Chain A
Amino acid sequence: MIKFEDIQVKYGETIVVDNLNLHIKKGEFFTLLGASGCGKTTTLRALAGFLTPSKGKIYVDGKEIMDVPVEKRGIGVIFQNYALFPTMSVYENIAFGLKVRKLKKDEIDKSVKNVADMVELSREQIRKNVSQLSGGQQQRVAIARALVNNPYILLLDEPLSNLDAKLRKQLRIELKRIQQNFHITSVYVTHDQDEALTLSDRIAVFNNGKIEQVGTPNELYNEAKTEYVCNFIGEVSRLGTEVIKHVNKVHGENILREDANSYIRTEKVEITRVMEGMTELEAEVINREFYGTHIMYTYKILDSTIKSFVKENGLPGLNIGDKAKVYMNPRYIMQY
């Protein structure tokens, strides 16, 4: 439904995004994930029409949209700081787009109240001025304001980054629910991988203006194609050459390359032999962090520092300095 073809964006003389090719399917919740300054917001703004790429084309539903002005693109945008109009009430904010299109008063009223119900804003709340609402409520207003115009595409620029952790988790679920109910093609920008993994149908990982990998959360997590993606998503421990050599020795053949950069995910390191084909390693506990739901142990194994966690089940667990046996399945070791 949305196609980016060889897109390049420049700020002055600096190239911020280069050779961008992306295809987003209809009804998909697609996330642009990356660190600050990697070009994800720039890509989003190019789609919205707030900036013009220096090269390339963008297609929506097969039609080129570069010449279409912002106000005619039919794309809803939810800004990072919400960009709610401070002199207007919640009602007026939500009704803004409808008023611009000169709809009838009772039509506007019906639409506004409908969408307000959907985002769970009460009648009393929509009469207030936007500055009187909390962060979470303002965010709902921003969502309502974008949705009420029935856009084909919804763009969300880090909409949860200004909220506290608990509210973020809550609203994450709501956003997903709304997107699924409306089946709107959504493009979501974030630097938070938890958000990306839980919300998205597919994710594009950005690095310095280029895309490292596009895939489903599972693909990115378990089949990271590049070292950057492997490091960026989830927690990994770097495995040194000695560990790799040990694994190879135990298996009697070189199943792993000894010259490659090797990683394993934290949750794939076990303290019991849970399945066939696992390699046993001698470890010494050098750090212990209490997370409430689990305990994160840092082990020294041969030449590597490896992290692993154990669910907090009430048992005493290990202490710093303790010796332990640790198990890894070689097929989960990622190498680049």
Chain B
Amino acid sequence: MGKFKFSKKNVYLFLVSIFLIWFITAFLIYPNINIIYRTFFTEGKFSIRAVSKIFNSPRAVKSLKNSFVLAATLTVTANILGIFVVLVTEYFELKGSRFLSIVYKIPMVFGGVVLANGYLFGYGSNGFLTNTLVQIFPGLDPYWFSGYIAVVFVMTFACTTNHLIFLKNALLNVDYQTIEAAKNMGAGQFYILRRVVLPTLMPVLLTCTIMLFQMGLMAMSAPLMVGGTDFQTIGPMILTFSGRTDSRDIAAVLSLILGAAEIILLYITTRIERKGNYMSVSKVKTKIQKQKILNPIVNIIVHILAYALVVIYLLPLLSVVLFSFTDTYCITNTTFSFSHLTLDNYKRIVTDIAAYKPFMTSIIYAGLASFLVIVFVLICVRLMLKYKNKGTTALEYALHIPWFIPPVMFALGLVMTYDLPRLIMFNMPLLGTMVIMLAAYMVVLIPYTLRMIKSAFSSFDNNLEDAARNLGASGLYTLFRVILPCIMPVILAVFALNFNGKLSDYDMSVFVYHPLYPPLGVIIRNNVVNNQDVDAIALNLVYSVLLMAISSIVLYLVYGRGTREKKKK
């Protein structure tokens, strides 16, 4: 009974355990420990010189202040916008609400570098709106769209995705009878909204607030591209400081501050989640019914605001899409003309290697990382479900590490750890290789993939596995013929969402990309800097359109069809 058998199963377990320990130590633990080490130890001795360097660098201090100010501002502005958007599409009855609903979903496909690029194309120093405005107001500074206000503006309109998902869900779970009861007692519409509805949404709003604060702190592309010289935040600072070896320790300290903030925010979120029950899908007595705004003046004002928002959302998007189909003349002069419509820009993507290389690079990296992380997580989840011991518990905790580490800090960790040969990496430096970015993508995808695949298995009937074994199937046969087909919908959804998420990544890629194979995010950013080159601008437009198209298709396939099938039943 206690003999160790050299069975296939035990050999497999042994090899997998070794691999997991190596992978987790090398990629999840070591880089982060290294950051802490570089912060608190200079030349092998404990010192807070690195920390004091921060306070001696006015740029670093200012960037810290700017980040927290941005984060705080964002919680106010994006919350207001998010609440307004959800109320206007789900609570109140507005004309054309279906159209509004679709337009307000734009941030789900238009974000990151693509969004920043879109705004700059419209409002930047060479943007078509800027040029129009300069003609009307000749004294206008062409760089009007930069700095704190611009970053807040861009991020406010980009960060309502959580409201659209969580707040909307919470609103739909409100018991309509409570609203009817309040009406019956004589309460006015907005009184009900303030005193009856919003209080029940508080837990969700709190979570959204925390997430907004997180987004503000961790922001990279918006401050980098739109912040200008006056408004620098932590993310871009880390990037700048990591570029020179003598300032890397400052970068380390800054990223550690981000990491600490992240852990505190996550802790607060978990405490809130434990108290509130708002995520439960309990059956509600009566579903919410949309109500018309009774006061006619308020009604008109709300409609105007709602459609003004539509203009703000659509303008960058439409301009990017439309101008992608124009020629260099239109783009240079930022004037739109139907006679100059052409597919040349798109043709370049297919014919010019310089144009499609970044595209292919991103697709391969994102695809490979998404695939590998699923395989990795599947192996881990099977181990965790089959063997409940200290080892598997430690494994589960370890796999959550990337959740606590901001991507920027993790990327910096990789850079500062594997720029030199390390024993754990078999004395091969990873920086400058093609592998490091793949590893980076994979690691940050682990926590979400783990959560999704674990939940897929929890709804999987274990009797099926017993039945298959009883009918003679081996473990692998059962895995491929019985288990995977059952959880395939979840696997495909996770793959699609992960792929979509990493396709236009910038925040991490900029630290670890291979110089000869820059991915899309990096190229788009570089093309913006290079804004005198019309071809570069045109290419950015095409990339943006293609990325948005891919995002839309992915989101539709993952979320859109599901609801339709439910309606059929």
A97's nearest neighbour on chain B, judged by CB, is B471
- Give chain A nearest CB distance to B494 CB in angstroms: 18
Given contacts A81-B463, A83-B461, A85-B464, contact A75 B485 (CB under 8 A): no
A149 interface neighbour in B464, B471, B488, Cβ under 8 Å:
B471
Kindly state the separation between the CA atoms of A122 and B471 in the bound complex, as whole angstroms: 23
Complex contact A71–B472 (CB within 8 A): yes
Q: Mark B457-473, 1 if CB is under 8 A from A, else 0.
A: 00001011011111111
* Residues in A116-172 with C-beta less than 8 Å from chain B: 145, 149
Q: Decide if A100 is an interface residue (CB 8 Å cutoff).
A: yes
Q: Report chain A residues within 8 Å CB of B486.
A: 85-87
- Give chain A nearest CB distance to B203 CB in angstroms: 36
Q: Report chain B residues within 8 Å CB of A145.
A: 471
Q: Decide if B474 is an interface residue (CB 8 Å cutoff).
A: yes
Q: Decide if B477 is an interface residue (CB 8 Å cutoff).
A: yes
Q: Report chain B residues within 8 Å CB of A79.
A: 463, 466-467
Kindly state the separation between the CA atoms of A294 and B416 in the bound complex, as whole angstroms: 87
Kindly state the separation between the CA atoms of A97 and B469 in the bound complex, as whole angstroms: 9
Q: Report chain B residues within 8 Å CB of A48.
A: 466, 470
* Residues in A34-79 with C-beta less than 8 Å from chain B: 48-50, 69-72, 75-77, 79
Q: Report chain B residues within 8 Å CB of A69.
A: 469
Kindly state the separation between the CA atoms of A81 and B464 in the bound complex, as whole angstroms: 10
Kindly state the separation between the CA atoms of A145 and B471 in the bound complex, as whole angstroms: 9
Q: Report chain A residues within 8 Å CB of B464.
A: 83, 85-86
Q: Report chain B residues within 8 Å CB of A96.
A: 468, 471, 473, 481
Q: Decide if B482 is an interface residue (CB 8 Å cutoff).
A: yes
Kindly state the separation between the CA atoms of A149 and B473 in the bound complex, as whole angstroms: 13
- Give chain A nearest CB distance to B431 CB in angstroms: 45
Q: Report chain B residues within 8 Å CB of A101.
A: 472
Complex contact B469–A83 (CB within 8 A): no
Complex contact A85–B470 (CB within 8 A): no
Most B-side CB within 10 Å, residue of A70, A71, A84: A71
Given contacts A86-B486, A87-B485, contact A81 B461 (CB under 8 A): yes
* Residues in B436-477 with C-beta less than 8 Å from chain A: 461, 463-464, 466-474, 477
Complex contact A71–B482 (CB within 8 A): no
Complex contact B463–A76 (CB within 8 A): no
Q: Report chain B residues within 8 Å CB of A100.
A: 471-473, 477
- Give chain A nearest CB distance to B62 CB in angstroms: 58
Complex contact A76–B470 (CB within 8 A): yes
Q: Report chain A residues within 8 Å CB of B488.
A: 87
Q: Report chain B residues within 8 Å CB of A149.
A: 471-472
Kindly state the separation between the CA atoms of A97 and B474 in the bound complex, as whole angstroms: 11
Kindly state the separation between the CA atoms of A86 and B483 in the bound complex, as whole angstroms: 10
Kindly state the separation between the CA atoms of A48 and B464 in the bound complex, as whole angstroms: 14
Give the number of chain A interface residues (Cβ < 8 Å). Answer: 24
Q: Report chain B residues within 8 Å CB of A86.
A: 464, 486
Q: Report chain A residues within 8 Å CB of B485.
A: 85, 87-88
Most A-side CB within 10 Å, residue of B468, B470, B481: B470
Q: Report whether over half of chain B's contact residues are helix, strand or loop; otherwise say mixed.
A: helix
- Give chain B nearest CB distance to A131 CB in angstroms: 12
Kindly state the separation between the CA atoms of A83 and B465 in the bound complex, as whole angstroms: 9
Complex contact A70–B463 (CB within 8 A): no
Give the number of chain B interface residues (Cβ < 8 Å). Answer: 18
A48's nearest neighbour on chain B, judged by CB, is B470
Q: Report chain A residues within 8 Å CB of B461.
A: 81, 83
Complex contact B463–A83 (CB within 8 A): yes
- Give chain B nearest CB distance to A80 CB in angstroms: 8
A96's nearest neighbour on chain B, judged by CB, is B471
- Give chain B nearest CB distance to A102 CB in angstroms: 10
B474 interface neighbour in A49, A71, A75, A84, Cβ under 8 Å:
A71
B470 interface neighbour in A77, A81, A87, Cβ under 8 Å:
A77
A92's nearest neighbour on chain B, judged by CB, is B481
Kindly state the separation between the CA atoms of A97 and B488 in the bound complex, as whole angstroms: 22
Complex contact A75–B470 (CB within 8 A): yes
A66's nearest neighbour on chain B, judged by CB, is B1
Given contacts A87-B485, A87-B486, contact A77 B472 (CB under 8 A): no
Kindly state the separation between the CA atoms of A124 and B400 in the bound complex, as whole angstroms: 49
Kindly state the separation between the CA atoms of A76 and B471 in the bound complex, as whole angstroms: 7
A77's nearest neighbour on chain B, judged by CB, is B470
B461's nearest neighbour on chain A, judged by CB, is A83
Kindly state the separation between the CA atoms of A101 and B481 in the bound complex, as whole angstroms: 14
Complex contact B482–A85 (CB within 8 A): yes
Q: Report chain B residues within 8 Å CB of A70.
A: 466, 469-470
Complex contact B470–A71 (CB within 8 A): yes
Q: Mark B470-501, 1 if CB is under 8 A from A, else 0.
A: 11111001000110011010000000000000
Kindly state the separation between the CA atoms of A51 and B474 in the bound complex, as whole angstroms: 17
Kindly state the separation between the CA atoms of A88 and B485 in the bound complex, as whole angstroms: 9
Kindly state the separation between the CA atoms of A195 and B503 in the bound complex, as whole angstroms: 61
Complex contact A50–B466 (CB within 8 A): yes
- Give chain A nearest CB distance to B199 CB in angstroms: 43
Kindly state the separation between the CA atoms of A75 and B469 in the bound complex, as whole angstroms: 11
Q: Report chain A residues within 8 Å CB of B482.
A: 85
Q: Report chain A residues within 8 Å CB of B467.
A: 77, 79, 83-85
- Give chain A nearest CB distance to B482 CB in angstroms: 6
- Give chain B nearest CB distance to A239 CB in angstroms: 45
Complex contact A71–B466 (CB within 8 A): no
A87's nearest neighbour on chain B, judged by CB, is B485
Kindly state the separation between the CA atoms of A250 and B193 in the bound complex, as whole angstroms: 84
- Give chain A nearest CB distance to B499 CB in angstroms: 24
- Give chain A nearest CB distance to B355 CB in angstroms: 42
Q: Report chain B residues within 8 Å CB of A88.
A: 485
Complex contact B469–A71 (CB within 8 A): yes
Kindly state the separation between the CA atoms of A71 and B467 in the bound complex, as whole angstroms: 10
* Residues in B366-391 with C-beta less than 8 Å from chain A: none
Q: Report chain B residues within 8 Å CB of A71.
A: 469-474
* Residues in B67-119 with C-beta less than 8 Å from chain A: none
Kindly state the separation between the CA atoms of A79 and B486 in the bound complex, as whole angstroms: 18
Kindly state the separation between the CA atoms of A288 and B482 in the bound complex, as whole angstroms: 54
- Give chain B nearest CB distance to A153 CB in angstroms: 11
Q: Report chain A residues within 8 Å CB of B469.
A: 69-71
- Give chain B nearest CB distance to A146 CB in angstroms: 8
* Residues in B273-293 with C-beta less than 8 Å from chain A: none
Q: Report chain A residues within 8 Å CB of B477.
A: 100
Kindly state the separation between the CA atoms of A295 and B323 in the bound complex, as whole angstroms: 88
B466's nearest neighbour on chain A, judged by CB, is A50
B-to-A contact residues, CB < 8 Å: 461, 463-464, 466-474, 477, 481-482, 485-486, 488
Q: List 4 extra interface pairs beyond A83-B464, A83-B467, CB under 8 A.
A: A76-B470, A77-B466, A85-B482, A87-B486
A-to-B contact residues, CB < 8 Å: 48-50, 69-72, 75-77, 79, 81, 83-88, 96-97, 100-101, 145, 149
Listed by A's residue number, 6 A-B pairs whose Cβ atoms lie within 8 Å are: A70-B469, A75-B470, A83-B461, A87-B485, A87-B486, A100-B472
Counting from the closest, the 9 A-B pairs by CB-CB distance are: A97-B471, A83-B463, A83-B467, A87-B485, A100-B472, A70-B469, A77-B470, A71-B472, A100-B473
